[in-house]
Structure 1
Amino acid sequence: MSLFWRLLLLNAAVLVAGAAALLLGPATVSAPFFVAEALILAIGLAVMLVVNAILLRIGLAPLERLARVMTTIDPLRPGARLAVTGHGETADLIKTFNTMLDRLEDERATSSAVALSAQEAERHRIAQELHDEVGQTLTAVLLELKRVADQAPETVATALHQVQETTRDSLDEIRRIARRLRPGVLEELGLVSALKALTTEVPPRTGLIARCHLDSDLPDLGDATELVLYRVAQESLTNTVRHARATRVELSLRSGPTGVELSIRDNGGGLGSAPEGAGIRGMRERALLIGARLTLGPGARGGTEVRLHVPTATKAPEHV
């Protein structure tokens, strides 16, 4: 039965019940009416309105729940579905809404996988160019500066040595950027070594002490899952260095009976009321691609804690 007919029949039932009460009950109305008769009619009308309101509330409750779910849906936190309740058009509407969410989440996961794969390919290309082009050029400049400094007068040689140090620092920075863009240590030595390297690359000038606790007996996670774990750890450490005002950060990777869990905890100022930026949204999208669960919040002893739980049975996509 459609929603229109159900509402019509509910109202008709209330009106019929009121009319029957007037016809069969002892109450009568005279002309002119008395105050007692008006009071009886007012009470009857109030009862009819209350009953009608209760019946409409019950009939429209599934639509109200659907509206609340629609306002709280977050594409980066999938899985929210509304239980199919009600009858007729209401139940069909809830089923259609749930089906639409399934389709949108599948399409978003597919498009995100393509976009992130293209992003990784572009990072690989830029890192390669930095290493092969800019890195080799700066290396040649260093060698030429050394040759000129060896033949120059002492005052000029001192200035050239300072230029050498500046150029060498720039070359080290370019190599560091290239490593961040393309985690070669992840491909060559594995996830554990790559995460250790991340903690050692925290700039000393920040005063941040980084520690890592990594299990060595990890299950076979696959290249895509390892890359997601690495990128989430990388982005979390970057956020800690830039925004947390922390003095200590701990990175841990543990293997448990239900899966692998990555955790990054700091003792900084916490997230506060700041909205999530592009970096956090990127971490959530990567987590969705491998069926992992990402949570961000205050740590047990203050600061911020990022957790990424990867179920062991998760089958990651071929490319991320």
Structure 2
Amino acid sequence: MRLFWRVFWLNALVGAVATVLLMVGPWTVSVPIRLTEALVLTAGLVVMLTANAALLRWGLAPLDRLTRLMTTVDLLRPGERLPVTGSGEVAALIDTFNQMLQRLEAERGASSARALSAQEDERRRIAQELHDEIGQSLTAVLLDLKRLADRAPEPLREDLRYAQETTRDSLDEVRRIARRLRPGVLEDLGLASALTALTGQFSAHAGIRVRRRLHPGLPPLSSQVELVLYRIAQEALTNAARHSGAATVELSLAPADGGVLLSVTDDGAGLGGSAEGAGIRGMRERALLVGGELTVGSVPEGGTRVALYVPIAEEGPPP
């Protein structure tokens, strides 16, 4: 039944019942109206409105359920669709909403792919400029300071050596930032070597012990899948250092059910019921680019576990 006719017939039912009761009942209205008659009419109006409200609430219940279900849909968890229930406009509205979800997921995936691709290009450009411009300038300054320190008198030589150490530390920091922006090890030596270098640098600078478990028999991965796995591991380690207060982090990468499973588990304070931040949502967007599934949750022993499963499509026989 269409929603219009549903509401119409419910109101008609209430009006018909009220009319029949007035026709068969002993009630009359005097002119001028008496107080008891006014009270009876008022009570009848209240009963009629209450019955009308109850029937309308029952008739519009499918729309309330649809509204509650709409609030639970998240575009970062694709594939969620509302069950088409009811009839008439309600079923058509649910079906239209599901079609809109499908279009939004496709458009969001395409826009996220373009945005993340542009982000990687910008990171690569900045890393190249840091290495070529600032890195070379600091290297030249370091050589000049060394030459001056060799010629300077003893009271000034110590200050120049201190300036050398400061410049050398700045040069190391610039190189470290450039490596984080552009993982050259990933492009040159592959994912396993890149994750090994990443965990080593993280352990050295963050002061957190990192255990690695990299399976030697990983299936062949595309460059995009390797980059997504690397970036999500990088973001998970960064979140563990900044927010968890963990002392140990375990990173594992192994084949699983026709794909690969990346897991980063810490022994920190856990999520504590807090909402997902921009870092986790960014990881979810990256996971969607390769058809992966990201899960973030607390572990029973305490701490947080970030797991990314990426299915690997099996290539058919060559033509």
TM-score band, normalised by shorter chain: 0.7 to 0.9
**Corresponding residue for residue 162 of structure 1:** 162
Relative to structure 1, the CA distance from residue 259 to residue 58 in structure 2 (aligned partners, 3 Å threshold; closer, same or farther) is farther
TM-aligned CA deviation for residue 272 of structure 1? 2.3
- State how 1:1-320 maps to structure 2 within 5 Å: 1-12=1-12, 29=26, 56=56, 59-202=59-202, 204=204, 206-313=206-313
TM-aligned CA deviation for residue 166 of structure 1? 1.3
Relative to structure 1, the CA distance from residue 28 to residue 161 in structure 2 (aligned partners, 3 Å threshold; closer, same or farther) is closer
| More contact order relative to length (CA 8 Å, sep ≥ 6) | 1
The TM-score, its normalising length taken from structure 2, stands at 0.84
Greater Cα shift, 14-23 or 98-107? 14-23
Relative to structure 1, the CA distance from residue 205 to residue 133 in structure 2 (aligned partners, 3 Å threshold; closer, same or farther) is closer
| 5+ residue gaps, structure 1 | 33-41, 316-320
> Residue 279 of structure 1 aligns to which amino acid in structure 2?
G
Q: Do the aligned partners of 1:18 and 1:48 also contact (CA within 8 Å) in 2?
A: no
SS in structure 2 at match of 1:166: helix
TM-aligned CA deviation for residue 77 of structure 1? 2.5
SS in structure 2 at match of 1:252: strand
Relative to structure 1, the CA distance from residue 12 to residue 31 in structure 2 (aligned partners, 3 Å threshold; closer, same or farther) is closer
TM-aligned CA deviation for residue 261 of structure 1? 1.1
2: distance between equivalents of 1:222 and 1:266? 28
SS in structure 1 at match of 2:202: coil
Q: Do the aligned partners of 2:198 and 2:234 also contact (CA within 8 Å) in 1?
A: yes
Q: Do the aligned partners of 1:138 and 1:171 also contact (CA within 8 Å) in 2?
A: yes
* CA displacement 1:216-255 (0-9 Å, x = unmatched): 2212221111111110100111111122211100101111
**Corresponding residue for residue 35 of structure 1:** none
SS in structure 2 at match of 1:201: helix
Relative to structure 1, the CA distance from residue 314 to residue 275 in structure 2 (aligned partners, 3 Å threshold; closer, same or farther) is farther
TM-aligned CA deviation for residue 202 of structure 1? 1.5
Q: Do the aligned partners of 1:253 and 1:262 also contact (CA within 8 Å) in 2?
A: yes
TM-aligned CA deviation for residue 282 of structure 1? 1.1
2: distance between equivalents of 1:95 and 1:104? 14
TM-aligned CA deviation for residue 283 of structure 1? 0.9
2: distance between equivalents of 1:292 and 1:58? 42
Q: Do the aligned partners of 2:14 and 2:48 also contact (CA within 8 Å) in 1?
A: no
* CA displacement 1:183-222 (0-9 Å, x = unmatched): 1111111111111111100253643101110112212221
* CA displacement 1:128-156 (0-9 Å, x = unmatched): 00000111111111122222222222332
2: distance between equivalents of 1:269 and 1:289? 30
> Residue 157 of structure 2 aligns to which amino acid in structure 1?
A
> Residue 192 of structure 2 aligns to which amino acid in structure 1?
V
TM-aligned CA deviation for residue 275 of structure 1? 3.5
**Corresponding residue for residue 33 of structure 2:** none
2: distance between equivalents of 1:278 and 1:287? 14
